[in-house]
Amino acid sequence: MITITDIAKALDISPATVSRAMNQSRLVTPELTKNIHRTAEKLGYKKRPIRRHRGRAILNIKLVLPRHEEPERALFYDLAALIEGIHSGFKHCGINLLCETASPKFKPYPHKKGGDLNGFIFAFNRPSTATLAELEKFGTPFVVLNRQITGLPCVASENAEGISEIIRHLNERRPDLKPAFVSLKGLGQIGEERLAGMAAACASRGIAFDLGKDVIHFDEIASINSETIRPMAESYNALVCVNDIVGTVVVSELDRLGVSVPLQVAVTGFDNSPVRRLSRPILTSVSMPIGKLAGTAATMLEEQIIEHKMPQGITRVPGILIVGESS
């Protein structure tokens, strides 16, 4: 049986260099890699799949996180739960988890001797076209967390279904429900999915909801204040907020106006993020199970690396309605 050592002897190079080349390492030049592969094929070398050793394999995984200008975005999810979820999702291998922030200048392989990477997880951000081209060039598996991108392996929460649960809950408590959707500009796909879910849920229940009049988008969190909230409190009896950050600020501003929550106006959030615990009354929300999302994404990535199993479409993880005191 031909081994890596045999190939190394034939080319008068080290076995370590052969091993790196067989694993498409960037530490070996393309010319030498091609020569090593030609020699391996000539000698009849058969590479053993990683799954035979999966119990002992240690994979290098890079987690790419978003960089936000707004400091309050850091209240969106629990980083520890994200990391723990990723570790739990790799069921057959150990991992070295490397973290980096996304930016317009992000490069998946910033320097040649940065070590070999087995896979990437892009959490709460979308990889650029240039990044995707680099990953394809080196054949590196990846998964995108909390985004839906056609043709890419993605794991995301059930945004539309979660909003539907909120509308059902509100309508059961308020047969005369008159809701508005409160969001922030620039949230992209997540905001769009939640708004679409609200429109569909209201339509299915015969609740009046106009996408032109009953949707309020603020430029930023600082724009949500007593003066901008007052007209909504006078026109609606439920404010369905795109996430817990918006919901918590809305509850606070209604309190400043002397508007009783939920007696006069019900308020809901989404994500069950850490900031929800600060609202008084406690916000009704839908959990975005970050640990389960991360674990599902990690398992999907592990299957790509070890089993060469490519995921089909997007995987959705449902949340759970958490009834607080604000509805």
d(CA 200, CA 211): 11
**CATH top-level class for 4-47?**
mainly alpha
d(CA 271, CA 74): 13
d(CA 317, CA 291): 11
d(CA 157, CA 293): 7
Q: Please report, to the nearest 10 degrees, the dihedral formed by the alpha carbons of residues 33, 39, 41, 45 taken in order.
A: -100
Element (H, E) at 227: helix 226-235
Question: Where does the chain hold its CATH 3.40.50.2300 domain(s)?
Answer: 57-157+291-318, 159-286
Which DSSP symbol is given to 317? E
Q: At residue 201, what are phi and psi to the nearest 5 degrees? A: -65, -40
Domain spanning 57-157+291-318: CATH 3.40.50.2300: yes
Closest listed residue to residue 62, CA positions, set 147, 130, 140, 128: 140
Q: Write down the pLDDT at residue 114.
A: 54
Strands 314-317 and 238-241: unpaired
Closest listed residue to residue 77, CA positions, set 251, 236, 246, 271: 271
Question: Where does the chain hold its CATH 1.10.260 domain(s)?
Answer: 4-47
Do 297 and 120 touch, CB atoms closer than 8 A?
Answer: no
Close Cβ partners of 48 (under 8 Å, ≥ 6 residues apart): none
Residue type, 27: L
**What are residue 142's DSSP bridge partners?**
120
pTM above 0.95, yes or no: no
According to CATH, the topology of domain 159-286 is Rossmann fold (3.40.50)
Q: If the chain, 327 residues long, is cut into consecutive pieces of 10 residues, what is the mean pLDDT of each piece?
A: 89 87 75 89 77 66 83 66 94 92 86 75 93 88 90 92 97 98 90 96 98 96 95 98 96 97 98 90 93 94 88 87 97
Helix axis angle for 79-89 and 290-302, nearest 10°, is 30
Q: Write down the pLDDT at residue 25.
A: 72
Element (H, E) at 315: strand 314-317
Q: At residue 241, what are phi and psi to the nearest 5 degrees? A: -90, 145
Q: Write down the pLDDT at residue 76.
A: 62
Q: Write down the pLDDT at residue 67.
A: 80
pLDDT tens figures, 199-255: 999 999 999 999 999 999 999 999 999 999 999 999 999 999 999 999 999 999 999
Q: Write down the pLDDT at residue 196.
A: 97
Q: Write down the pLDDT at residue 75.
A: 54
Residue type, 57: A
Q: Write down the pLDDT at residue 53.
A: 46
